Amino acid sequence: MQDAPNFPLNDFQIGPEWEKAVRVSWAALAEWRSFIIGVDGRAGIGKSVFARYLSFRLNMPVIELDNFKTGNGLIAHSACANELVSRRHERNRPVIIEGVLLQDILATMGRSADFLIRFVKPEDDGPDEFLSACEDYEMRTSPDLIVSATHLD
Where residue 105 falls among pLDDT bands split at 50, 70, 90?
A: confident
Query: Total domain count for the chain?
Result: 1
* Residue 1 placed within a domain: no
Check residue 125 and give its pLDDT.
Answer: 46
* Residue 2 placed within a domain: no
Which CATH number do you get for residue 48?
3.40.50.300
Per-residue pLDDT of 42-87, as tens digits, reads 888 889 989 999 999 999 999 998 887 766 555 666 788 899 999 9
Rounded to two decimals, what is the model's pTM?
Answer: 0.80
Q: What is the gyration radius of the CA atoms in the chain, in angstroms?
A: 15
Count the Cβ atoms, other than its own, within 10 Å of residue 56.
Answer: 12
Instruction: Evaluate whether 48 touches 64 at the Cβ level (below 8 Å).
Output: yes
7-41: burial string, b at 16+ Cβ within 10 Å, e else: eebeebeeeeebeebeeebeebbeeeeebbbbbbb
* Residue 3 placed within a domain: no
Check residue 100 and give its pLDDT.
Answer: 86
Question: What is the average per-residue pLDDT within 14-29?
Answer: 89
Domain with 115, as residue range(s), is 10-148
